[in-house]
Structure 1
């Protein structure tokens, strides 16, 4: 469903037009009509597919706002959609794929599948990114809040890099708060050894040789990529099992437990990738010899253009833990990505030691909060406080470790008392 178009032009521009003579007015009117933003709200994806896929092609638009990624989520979660499209004339200038979720009596419009996304860019045409000024972006923000009035209380656009791969985001013109989670990346070259040279290459190679020796001592291994849909689904289910064991051991809630979340990732496996691009590809380390056929580590990768993103990973801690099979799999995937011409390997959100050992780039991301209702204003105020508090905690390793231990204890108590898996 589509609302009536909403056009936004500044009062200053209208005032200038009123002072022009007829010839000037005619020319200015033609130019204004060509440049005016026509911004509309849509409640389904399918009517926008052609325009959406045309914007997908731009390498600076995030894979996590791609049509296939969002379509898989909407088919498995069924949240109300609030997709904002902007046009200049007949050409799409941007699409913001939002869904409305309700929590604590507050309706929040956020990026589709926000919890599992990294580097949210929205979808912008190259022309809009190059030419959009602060007034254009202010008009977009005004349009969003006007179109969503009565449907949402707050717009929360999370994990936006205000600068990404040499370009400034149009969102940079809006007030933003730094997200507590940063993303970590390793730039790649066509030569894996040159890629390693950015790190402590000598130490890395020594560790790799040690890992290989330890696994070869029990029969060896192979790095493989799941190809058939049957193999993909079986490997994904094994990932869910391995991850559940890991979360339980840490006393943390299982973020992959919900059936609809698992269905989302299974649906991504059904999308046919073009060339090397894919929303989800499963890699694994399969053992030989004593553990023949057992899977020691699994990782899910996405690729768009030259950008590879690690979506998730797991290990079987009962299999050769002394060889660090998870880190070994990263070595093999990064080496393969170099050979296949990728330029950036993205470890995603979250500050963990293994990411810092691999990565030379730390990307700061921001959240943009646009309150709509009175409840939304209160929620935005609270959200800013939560984000700042989390940033302080995560910036203090000792405090963060203490909080994690408290959380693990709190989560374990009810699980032990009821015999259920939290």
Structure 2
């Protein structure tokens, strides 16, 4: 029996993509599982939006987030869709990049994602996760080996929202970073009780009193597109100053990344689904109404992710405006149906001070060619080396200073967030 492959009647195929039928007897695929590759997001939009509603799907694989990245970074994505009968049960949204000698298929927007899951139906139609994972592995080789050497599915939690990941049975290596979350309860006091509530309230009161010495403040969420753009410009300036002061590489420096952020904030979304909202603290004084703290926050269902943050270190820094802003955001989120506040990937003291959950993330590395086997070995070596470097603070700081010097000598390139 045949495993059907889309003839790309709704897409323009990439040169080299296989489109011939494969025999199910040789691949071991279920007879009614159809896997196809697409290069137009619009071809999958309806199924994509239906599947992404699941709590187990990361915001970073949502249609609007990926569309913003594709519009600013990707000439043509590689979208792997699996259908069981006439029902789509998974989509792997990938992009093709060249890293030196290797052609890599990776999650769309991987450099700036905090947690990746792919897009899988909650009901797999009787297929076990292990069977589907093996089918996906085979089909990645069958479909992409002519255009890619390796597939890297990075930053995947093997268990997420109480469910094992569909691909958890595939070979993986622990990522050099974890992500950090705080479960939210409807009552803010009960949420704080998970932490050192007394210390949290004291820090909040101290920050409030110090902010009063500057004329008070307003907690705002940018509503109009013009206001979002203005606050994003302030964030980029604040972050650039911070990275320069610390002699660290500015991961928001390159033009495509800034264009991606502008595309993401342009989506209005809804109260329960918004790719990127900008929260800020603004001084209330008539003499000075500058913004002293900013956080870029995404929401998908009951999951809220802080994507980035910044403060104006020349003004009101003694009031800890960043901490005060997080307090306000989390307090508001508790009353709006959010059950998980996510500080994202990368170990930072402020994250540990807020979070009770540490989520380990893993990279699934799948070589497609002989060259890909070399790339897989390189990837694993890099991850292990980064883990070792991060475990030694002195070495880590020296590496960051070196990266900053190199960045000044070369053209800007897309880089990871502080979780690199």
Larger radius of gyration: 1
Question: C-alpha deviations, 1:136-168, integer Å up to 9, x for none?
Answer: 211111101110012011100000001001101
CA drift at 1:292: 2.3
- Give 1:23's aligned residue: none
Is the 8 Å Cα contact of residues 7 and 37 (structure 1) preserved in structure 2?
no
1:230 pairs with 2:226: yes
Note closer, same or farther for the CA distance 1:13–1:387 as it changes in structure 2 (3 Å cut). closer
- Give 1:62's aligned residue: 58
Note closer, same or farther for the CA distance 1:414–1:385 as it changes in structure 2 (3 Å cut). closer
Note closer, same or farther for the CA distance 1:302–1:199 as it changes in structure 2 (3 Å cut). same
Matches within 5 A, 1:266-285: 266-285=262-281
Match of 2:355 among 359, 365, 371: 359
Match of 2:400 among 397, 401, 407: 407
Q: TM-score, normalising length from structure 1?
A: 0.89
- Give 2:340's aligned residue: 344
Match of 1:44 among 40, 56, 64: 40
Note closer, same or farther for the CA distance 1:126–1:208 as it changes in structure 2 (3 Å cut). same
Question: C-alpha deviations, 1:230-279, integer Å up to 9, x for none?
Answer: 00011111111111111111112211111111111111122121233100
1:85 pairs with 2:74: no
Equivalent-residue separation in structure 1 for 2:323 and 2:20 (angstroms): 51
1:4 pairs with 2:30: no
C-alpha RMSD over aligned residues = 2.2
Equivalent-residue separation in structure 2 for 1:93 and 1:112 (angstroms): 19
Matches within 5 A, 1:13-412: 33=31, 36-128=32-124, 131-289=127-285, 292-394=288-390, 396=391, 399-408=392-401, 411-412=404-405
- The number of equivalent residue pairs is 398
Secondary structure at 2:186's aligned position in 1?
A: coil
Moved over 6 A (4+): 418-422
Which ranges of structure 1 fall in alignment gaps of 5 or more residues?
15-31
Greater percentage in helix: 1
- Deviates most, 38-47 or 130-139: 130-139
Note closer, same or farther for the CA distance 1:177–1:130 as it changes in structure 2 (3 Å cut). farther
Q: TM-score, normalising length from structure 2?
A: 0.90
- Deviates most, 82-91 or 41-50: 41-50
Equivalent-residue separation in structure 1 for 2:23 and 2:333 (angstroms): 45
Note closer, same or farther for the CA distance 1:10–1:186 as it changes in structure 2 (3 Å cut). farther
Is the 8 Å Cα contact of residues 55 and 124 (structure 1) preserved in structure 2?
yes
